[in-house]
Amino acid sequence: MWDAGVSITVEGKHIANWLIGQVRNEEMDEELYLQYADIIGADKAAFKAALKEVPVMSETRFRKIADLLFILANELSEKAFRNWQL
Residues 6+ apart with CB under 8 A from 70: 6, 7
Chunked into runs of 10 residues, the chain (86 residues) has average pLDDT values of 84 86 84 90 92 89 90 88 90
Q: How many domains does the chain have?
A: 1
pTM of the model: 0.68
Give the pLDDT of residue 13: 87
Question: How many residues comprise the chain?
Answer: 86
Structural domain boundaries enclosing 62: 2-85
Ramachandran area for residue 38 (φ above 0: left; ψ -120 to 50: alpha; else beta) = alpha
